[in-house]
A and B are shown apart, each in its own frame.
Chain A
Amino acid sequence: MEKFAPVTRSEDGQPVRYLIVDDSVFARKNLARMVETFGGQIVGEAGDGVSAISEYERVTPDIVLMDITMPQMEGIEAAEKIVRDHPGARIVMVSSVGYQENIVAALQRGARHFVQKPVKPEVLYEVIKYVMLDDGTTTRSKGAGA
C-alpha cells in the first residue's frame, strides 16, 4: 500500500487517534490498514451506532470514520448524538451510499466530511488532512511520498 506523509496532532505531534465504525469487520480492517499508512493510531472499533457512542465516550478519538448503513443505529443518527454531546467531534462518514440527501443529512447533523466507498487511500488522506486542519500538521517522514 502507498505510503503517505504522517498526519499528526499539532498540539503534541502525536499520531491522530481514530475510532472506526462499520458493521463489516472486513471494512474496519481495511480502513485501519489505510489510516495506519497515514501514521494514524486505531484506538477503538465499533460495529453499530450504539457501540460507536459508547466507544467515543471511552476513547475520545481525534477522528471517527463512520459507516452509514448499520444495524441497531445507523451512522447519521450516531453522529448526531456524538456531536450533540461533543461539539468538537470530528466525524467523517464513510459509506457506499453517497446520494446527495444522505450527504446533506450527515453534514447537517454534525459530520465534517463524506467519503464514498470503495475508499481510495489518496482521497481519504486528503479528507483527513482537511478535517484535521484546525488541529493537525502533516510532516513528511524520510522516504515517505504522498
Chain B
Amino acid sequence: MRMDLIQPFINSTDAVLAQGLESPVSIENLSMEQEAYRRNGIAAEVNLTGEIEGRIIFDVEVRAALQLASRLAGVEVSETDEELVREAVCELANQIIGNAVTTLNDQGFHFHVHPPTLHTSAQGSKSSEDTEALVMVFNTASGNVFMNVALRHHCPGALEPALTT
C-alpha cells in the first residue's frame, strides 16, 4: 500500500487524538493485515467511494474511549453511558477520516466519505488480493487506538494525482 495514501490518516489521527486528549500520541505499530481483523474495543466503520474505494475501521480500547468521550463531552462519562461512548467514537472516526480525506482530495485523490456506522462484529473481513489492509496502532496515555485501513484501487489512473486533474 502506498505510504502517500496512508500518511494523511496517520497525521490526522495524531492531530485529532492529541487535541481531544490534550496529551501526546505516538504510533506504536504499523503492519499489513494477515488475518481477519479482530475488534479490540468500541469501533466505528467509515466507507469511502470514488477513485479509491474501501473502508476504515476506527477501534478504540474501552478505557481510551471513555477518556475521549469525557474530554469531548466536557463531563465524566462512565461505561454505563454506552450510547454516548459509541457516539463519541463515531464522531472521532468522522473527524479523523474526514481530515485525512481532505488532505488526499487536495492532493488530487477524489473520495466520497459516508457517515460512520458502529462496527459491532467481533471480527472483520479479511483483506483480499485487490484490497490491501493496513493496521495502525496508536498509543495514548489512556490506551490504544487501532485503525484498520483497507483500500482498493478502483481506477488505476486515479493513483497518479496529476492524471486526475
Residues of A within 8 A of B (CB): 1, 23-27, 29-30, 33, 69-71, 95-102, 116-118
Does residue B151 face the partner (Cβ distance < 8 Å to A)? no
Interface residues in chain B, defined as those with a beta carbon under 8 Å from any beta carbon in chain A: 16, 19-20, 69, 72-74, 84, 87-88, 90-91, 94-99, 101-102, 105-106, 113-115
B20, B87, B115: which contacts A70 (Cβ < 8 A)? B115
Per DSSP, are chain B's interface residues mostly helix, strand or loop, or mixed?
Answer: helix
Supply 11 A–B pairs (Cβ within 8 Å), ascending by A.
A26-B90, A26-B91, A96-B96, A97-B98, A99-B105, A99-B106, A100-B106, A101-B105, A102-B105, A117-B95, A118-B95
Tell me the complex Cα distance, A24–B106, Å: 25
Q: What are the residues of chain A within 8 A of B90 when measuring CB–CB?
A: 24, 26
Is the beta-carbon distance between A95 and B98 smaller than 8 angstroms? yes
List 17 extra interface pairs beyond A26-B72, A97-B101, A118-B95, CB under 8 A. Answer: A24-B87, A25-B87, A26-B73, A26-B91, A33-B74, A69-B115, A70-B115, A95-B98, A96-B97, A96-B98, A97-B98, A97-B105, A98-B99, A98-B102, A100-B106, A116-B99, A117-B99
Which B residues lie within 8 Å of A69 (CB)? 94, 98, 113-115
B16 touches A118 (CB 8 A): yes
CA distance A110 to B153 in the complex (A): 34
Tally of A-B residue pairs with Cβ under 8 A? 63
Q: How far is the CA of A100 from the CA of B91 in the complex (A)?
A: 22
Q: How far is the CA of A117 from the CA of B91 in the complex (A)?
A: 10
Q: How far is the CB of B46 from chain A (nearest CB, A)?
A: 9
Complex partner residue of B115 from A71, A117, A118, CB under 8 angstroms: A71
Known contacts A26-B84, A27-B91; is-contact A98 B98 (Cβ 8 Å): yes
CB distance from B90 to the nearest CB of A (A): 6
Bound Cα distance from A118 to B16, whole angstroms: 7
Which chain A positions have C-beta within 8 A of B87?
Answer: 24-26
Question: Closest 4 A-B residue pairs measured CB to CB?
Answer: A96-B98, A26-B87, A99-B105, A97-B98
- Residues in B whose Cβ lies below 8 Å from that of A98: 98-99, 102
Query: Is B88 a contact of A26 with CB atoms below 8 Å?
Result: yes
Determine the chain A residues whose CB is within 8 A of the CB of B102 once the complex forms: 96-99, 116
The answer to whether B20 and A118 have CB atoms under 8 Å apart is yes
Tell me the bound Cα distance from A33 to B75 in angstroms.
11
With the chains together, A13 CA to B16 CA distance in Å?
36
Q: From residue A100, how far is it (CB to closest CB) to chain B in Å? A: 6
